[in-house]
Amino acid sequence: MRRWIEEPAKKSRIEIIPMIDVMMFLLVFFVLISINVIPALGIKTNLPKSSQVQETRAIKNAVITLAKTGEIQLEGALVTLDELTPRLQAMQRPDQSLNIIVNGDEAVPMQRLVDVMDALKDSGFDSISIAAKKKN
């Protein structure tokens, strides 16, 4: 009977040197980007000057949810229709534009939606959107 010499099984190892190389490359790349050594995409321009310049304002979203039970939520907190506009006015800042998104169940009566939108329009909120899902 022949006996074969078995080689000892090699233990698997995790090589970390290539991982260190990649991490160092990423670190150098992000440092160079952050200090503008590598130019960003786009064309450098010098904007014309005007005395009638308006500042662009940041946009903040406020989500109003209408439940089929008649409840109204503003950013997840229950509110009444009378409390809705004062809370939205408290959220509004002069340096930000407030975009209102009305998110409602499909079983909510149309009159409830119209009541909420009327209250918002009466308080001076013009940017109102209605959330919907895409039809398949």
Compute the average pLDDT of residues 18-40. 82
State if pTM tops 0.75. no
Domain 58-130: CATH class, spelled out = alpha beta
Question: pLDDT, tens digit, for every residue of 68-105?
Answer: 888 888 888 888 888 888 888 888 877 777 888 888 88
Percent of the chain's residues with pLDDT above 90: 6
On whether the CB atoms of residues 120 and 128 are closer than 8 A, the answer is yes
Q: Which residues contact 40 (CB under 8 A, 6 or more apart)?
A: 33
The domain ranges of the chain are 58-130
pLDDT bucket at 22, cuts 50 / 70 / 90: very high
Residue 23 pLDDT > 90: yes
On whether the CB atoms of residues 97 and 57 are closer than 8 A, the answer is yes
